[in-house]
Structure 1
């Protein structure tokens, strides 16, 4: 006998490109982050010395996890929103608010792509190296514009699904007062 499924856990919406890749990459990045941090803590405990270079990897992995999570949340329609106000709107107003939010997401991550690409180019051009290992810094920074492009693709998919939707989307089962 199995327990009843949790009513607050929702399945991923039907998307053309499955979320599996992002979820696997996010899980791998989180696992690597945990192992790196654990190794640093054990080394510091046993030797009284910290591996300073692990901070570089940790920060890069945190950026990767954040952007992968943003893509997953956008595709699954689980991004942060103010449901209370939009649920008070009529159907057309709610859809307009959802479209505006999707366009704002696309614009914001488009800005991250542009500025991130410029930063990567500057770090490459001026041969900026990381402080701990002396590796080229642009290798770490390249994740920002690349994963921001993935979030834009997910936001465009969400926008298309929103424009095609014929019924009111359920946002965590919140009902207007």
Structure 2
């Protein structure tokens, strides 16, 4: 039976060390993004309430900020071993087998995010090269899509770092 401390930090069950770059970095960036999103939304609500004018252009910024928050949350979850999974069977395995399963899971994560970073970079490059503009504001679209490969690389770094910690444990 696991105690409450193991539930809060699942990586400690495998005997691994904490990450070298604290997960609080992604948390702070996500909090800043959420604060910016709240300010934009509140400005839109207040402007609409007091002047009957909508700041509809802020929707593009809000969507881009939410995507960045999602990637930051994913990076933090993988780095802290808090990603979604079913542990019913792996908790019944030996420590060695559980580590092997965890390495396989991390490799599967890399199999998703490495191509996302790679093809996202090409997609961003195409949008830059062909001067694609956003539909609402007419700003260069690559300013929005450039975050996708960058954040995917951050997630890959967290996955790789976690894999190294699991292997060394």
TM range (shorter): 0.7 to 0.9
Q: Which residue, out of 51, 55, 59, partners 1:51?
A: 55
Deviation at 1:91, TM superposition (A): 2.6
* Residue correspondence of structure 1 range 1-177 to structure 2 within 5 A: 9-10=8-9, 14-165=18-169
**Total equivalences in the alignment:** 160
Higher helix proportion (structure 1 or 2): 2
User: What are structure 1's unaligned runs of at least 5 residues?
Assistant: 1-5, 166-177
Counterpart-to-counterpart distance in 1, 2:54 and 2:113: 35
Q: Which has the higher contact order (CA 8 A, sep 6+)?
A: 2
Give the TM-score normalised by structure 2.
0.86
CA contact (8 A) 2:68 2:147 kept: yes
- The corresponding residue for 1:174 is none
User: What are structure 2's unaligned runs of at least 5 residues?
Assistant: 12-16
Query: Using a 3 Å threshold, how does the CA distance of structure 1 residues 39 and 22 change in structure 2: closer, same or farther?
Result: same
Query: Using a 3 Å threshold, how does the CA distance of structure 1 residues 49 and 11 change in structure 2: closer, same or farther?
Result: farther
Which whole-Å deviations, capped at 9, do the CAs of 1:82-101 have from their partners, x for residues lacking one?
11121122333222210111
Please tell me the root mean square deviation across aligned C-alpha atoms, in Å: 2.0
